[in-house]
Each structure stands twice: as structure tokens, then as C-alpha cells.
Amino acid sequence: MLEKIMIKLIKSTFYNEDEMKSSLADFILNAQILSMGEQCKNIENAFAQKQQRKYAVFVSNGSVANLLLVQSMINLGFIKKGDKVGFSALTWPTNVMPLIQLGLEPVAIDCELETLNVSPIRFKEQISGLKCLFLTNVLGFCDALPEIKALCDQENIILMEDNCESLGSKVNGQLLGNYGIASTFSFFVGHHMSTIEGGMVCTDDEALYESLVMGRAHGWDRNLSESSQQALRRSSGVDDFYAKYTFYDLASNYRPTEINGFIGNAQVRYWDEIVSKRESNFKTFQSAMKSNEDFYQFDLSHMDIISNFSMPIICKDSNMAKKYRGKFDEIGAEIRPVIAGNMTKQPFYKKYVSNSSDLPNSDLVHSNGFYFGNNPELTDSEINELCSLIQS
Ligand SMILES: Cc1ncc(COP(=O)(O)O)c(C=O)c1O
């Protein structure tokens, strides 16, 4: 009987947890204001700079980052109810849920087994009639993203990226999350950067930025620049008294707190360290699985940096999947399905969406796949233990 060693998917709430908790306790004891303020503004600036984007809007989680982005695209008239929006069939539910919630028509696009992402070939199969593509960069990987972007430009399709799993990954010298008009990030525990709960939307488009800022907080103009406020008030004939409670477009409240902002400002300093550890762990895992013919092999040689979220394993058949999942269970190494598998098989999707497409690769990932944790705090012995489970 093998000894249970327990290798959890997520080892801590944030990187350098002890130090972080103690500085957080001091911050809370001394802060005058804990609702959205200076700390949130600072992390927006620091994140925009690291991501090489003009604007970043900090929100309370990655799911509402997606909802807010889609709402803002509708508010600006870039897309409208009923429009067809392509999405990665292999993704997280709250990537596609906003499309359904806001009256758009989702169109699932299959992944490639070599990259687990949408390729130009799969995209072209579903491209007809699409107004927009809300692509997920899955697990820190991407397919030929520059080509997908070129196809979108050529066909007048707006590209948005859900980059919640791919902070720090690069292709063609450019960070993932910088290919579309906007991209979203999650800072939930276990993601590359954690603020406990938190998310971000990044863009270079000023009108979209202002719409995101208003959509994050009730639809009012309070967080816009003075000049934008004056222009908006003038065009709507609003006086200074009513300006405080004037709501310009559909919105909700997705504000983060100063607590999340403070953590973000501390954690963003570890960006490079976290990305390089995740990348190095991924390379070790990939070389361990390389000669194992029970698995489909990944081809990510086109990428400059692979900032892996967690390590996927796709077995050639379902019996092998059962065998390998069992091996992980036996030693207490936590595993999960490869995100939500084929999204169109999820009960919520079947309830609301009637169109269906053939998604053989996502089906295969659904039935034969699983992932185990990759995080920057894995020890050498844990890494060795995980490698021993996937070697041939
Ligand atoms: C691709 C993707 N999009 C969105 C989200 C949602 O982020 P959050 O958990 O912060 O709401 C996740 C979460 O893991 C995700 O993986």
C-alpha cells in the first residue's frame, strides 16, 4: 500500500503567505478606508504596466470581469442582442454564461489536442455569421493566436480574450491577453496571482475603458476623469447636484475592496518569479510525460513563454484515463477534470442553448483528460513524485 502524501492543487492563499498575511493585518489595522480607493487605483496602474496595456479596471472576480466586458461591449453598441459570439468549447462556465445572460448567441468552437486551444482551422469551421470571438487562452497555452487575430481582422470579427488562466504567457513576443480589444484576468486563489477574490479587464480602447469603469459601479460617472464627467453631464443635460445620482447605462456593482487592492500591489511584484516557476515546472512535467505513449503529446513549440495554470494529461482512451486518475488518487495527489470539459455537455448550457456543433476533441478531453496542480510553491520532491506518475 502506497503512503498518501497529499499534493494539493492549491498550496496557499497567496504567494509568500506568511509575510503577506502579516503585512495585510497591519494594513487593515491602519487603513482609514477599506472600500475601493487608492490601493485599487495603484494595482490598476501596476497591472496595466506589467501587461503592457493602456488601461486596467480592477473588479471583484474573473467571472464578473467577463460579464462586465460583455455588458460594456453591448452598451457601446459594438455587439447587440442576438449576435453570434464564438467561444472556446473547452473553457470555464463563466466565460460563456455572460453571453447567455446578456442575450447573445454562443457558438462553441472545438480545441486542438496538441494545444487544447482553438486553432485557425477550428475557428474557420464555425466562423460564418460570427460578430465576435470570446476566446479563452486555456491553461497558459495558446494555438496560433496571431493568425486567429489576423482572421478576425480580415472578417471584421471583434476578438476578446479570457486570459484568466494565462497570465504571463507569450507568443510571437507578445503577452497573451494583448491580442484582442480587451482581455480578462482572475485573481482567485490558485490563479497565477491571487488577491483572494479579484479580477481585471485590460484594454487600450479609451471608450471601452470608460464604459467598463461606469459599468463596474452602478452606471454612474463618479470614477471617470473630470473632463469625461463634464462632457457626459453636458451631453445629457445633468446638473452638478443630480450628477451624483445619474446612471448612464446598464451596470451593476463589481467593485473590489482596498483589501484586494493591497494584496494585489504586493503580489504583482512576484509576477516574473511566479511565471518562471510555473513555466519551469511545466517543462519538467512535459519532459516526464514525453515518452509515455498512453498520452496525447502537446506541441507548444510556437510559444515564447508557457505560464502554465495546471498540468493537463489527455489519455488515449477512457480506460487509461481511469488507470492514471487512480494512480493520482492512490497517493493523494489532487486532480480535476480539464476545466469544464466539453462545455456544451454542461446542464446549464443544454438548458439555454439549442444550437449544437460537433466537438470531437473537446469530447475526448472531457472523457479522457484530467489535470493536476502546477503552482510556484511545489517542492522538488512533490515535482518528482508527480513526474513518476506520468512517466512511461
Ligand atoms: C477561463 C476562466 N474564465 C473565468 C474564470 C472565473 O474567474 P473567477 O473564479 O475569478 O470568477 C475562471 C476561473 O477559474 C477561468 O478559468
pLDDT in tens, the chain (392 residues): 555 768 999 999 999 999 999 999 999 999 999 999 999 999 999 999 999 999 999 999 999 999 999 999 999 999 999 999 999 999 999 999 999 999 999 999 999 999 999 999 999 999 999 999 999 999 999 999 999 999 999 999 999 999 999 999 999 999 999 999 999 999 999 999 999 999 999 999 999 999 999 999 999 999 999 999 999 999 999 999 999 999 999 999 999 999 999 999 999 999 999 999 999 999 999 999 999 999 999 999 999 999 999 999 999 999 999 999 999 999 999 999 999 889 999 999 999 999 778 999 999 999 999 999 999 999 999 999 999 999 98
* Cβ–ligand 1 contact at 63 (below 6 Å): yes
- Name the residue of 101, 163, 188, 189 to mutate for ligand 1: max ligand atoms within 8 A of Cβ: 188
The pLDDT score that the predictor gives to residue 392 is 86
Model confidence, pTM? 0.97
Taken in order 217, 218, 223, 228, is the CA torsion positive or negative?
positive
The whole-angstrom separation of Cα 390 and Cα 297 is 12
Provide the pLDDT for residue 285.
98
Quick one: pLDDT at residue 41?
Answer: 98
Residues 121 and 238 placed together within one structural domain of the fold: yes
Establish whether residue 165 lines the binding site of ligand 1, counting it when its CB lies within 6 angstroms of any ligand atom: yes
Q: Is 94 in the pocket of ligand 1 (CB under 6 A)?
A: yes
Q: Which atom of ligand 1 is nearest to the CA of 186?
A: 10
The pick from 165, 187, 260 for probing ligand 1's pocket by mutation, whose C-beta has the most ligand atoms within 8 angstroms, reads: 165
Query: Are residues 139 and 166 in contact, defined by beta-carbon separation less than 8 angstroms?
Result: yes
Single residue among 269, 295, 317 that ends a domain in this structure: 269
Spatial distance between the Cα atoms of 285 and 288, rounded to a whole number of angstroms: 5
Shared-domain flag, residues 219 and 78: yes
Q: Is the CB of 61 under 6 A from ligand 1?
A: yes
Q: Are 300 and 41 in contact (CB under 8 A)?
A: no
Give dist(CA 159, CA 133) in Å, integer: 5
Q: Is residue 23, in this structure, part of any structural domain at all?
A: yes
CATH of the domain at 180: 3.40.640.10
Which atom belonging to ligand 1 lies closest to the Cα atom of 188?
A: 10
Count the domains in the chain.
Answer: 2
- pLDDT of 2: 55
Say which amino acid occupies 375: N
Compute the distance from residue 332 Cα to the ligand 1 centre, in Å. Answer: 25
Phi, psi of 182 (to 5 degrees): -155, 160
Task: Please indicate whether residue 369, judged by its CB atom, sits closer than 6 Å to ligand 1.
Answer: no
Residues 276 and 265 in one domain: no
Residues 175, 169 contacting (CB under 8 angstroms): yes
Within a domain: residue 6?
Answer: no
Report the distance separating Cα 25 and Cα 23, nearest Å. Answer: 5
127 and 238 share one domain: yes
For residue 73, what are the domain limits? 19-269
**Are 256 and 383 members of one domain?**
no
186, 187, 254, 336, best to mutate for ligand 1 pocket (most atoms within 8 Å of CB): 186
1 belongs to a structural domain: no
Same domain, 102 and 139: yes
With a 6 Å cutoff on the Cβ, whether 195 touches ligand 1 is no
Residues 6+ apart with CB under 8 A from 186: 61, 62, 63, 65, 164, 165, 198, 199
* Gap between the Cα atoms of 83 and 61, Å rounded: 26
CA distance 57 to 89: 27
Decide which of 211, 238, 269 is a domain's last residue: 269
pLDDT score, position 1 = 52
Amino acid 116: pLDDT: 98
Contacts of 216 (CB under 8 A, 6+ apart): 57, 59, 68, 223, 251, 253, 254, 255
Q: Please tell me whether residues 313 and 225 are part of one structural domain.
A: no
Evaluate whether residue 9 is within a structural domain.
no
Alpha helices in 169-270 (DSSP H): 206-216, 226-236, 240-243, 258-267
Question: What's the distance, CA 110 to chain centroid?
Answer: 18
For the Cβ of 91 lying below 6 angstroms from any atom of ligand 1, the answer is: yes
Q: What is residue 245's three-state secondary structure?
A: coil
Neighbours of 106 (CB within 10 A): 23
pLDDT at 356: 76
Q: Is the CB of 92 under 6 A from ligand 1?
A: yes
Beta carbon of 161 within 6 Å of any ligand 1 atom: no
Task: Return the closest-CA partner of residue 166 out of 1, 310, 314.
Answer: 310
Q: For residues 320 and 257, state if they share a domain.
A: no
Residues 90 and 188 placed together within one structural domain of the fold: yes
- Among 218, 245, 269, where does a domain finish? 269
Q: Are residues 303 and 242 in the same domain?
A: no
The CATH number of whichever domain residue 354 belongs to comes to 3.90.1150.10
Ligand 1 atom closest to the CA of 91, numbered from 1 = 1
- Say how many C-beta atoms besides its own lie within 10 A of residue 389's C-beta: 18
Grid coordinates in use for 92?
Answer: 470555464
The three grid cell numbers given for residue 36, joined into one nine-digit string: 475601493
Q: Is 136 in the pocket of ligand 1 (CB under 6 A)?
A: yes
How far does residue 242's CA lie from ligand 1's centre (Å)? 37
CA distance 233 to 220: 11
CA 87 and chain centroid, separation:
13
Task: Determine which helix (DSSP H) or strand (DSSP E) holds 85, and give its type and residue range.
Answer: strand 84-88
In a domain, 320, yes or no: yes
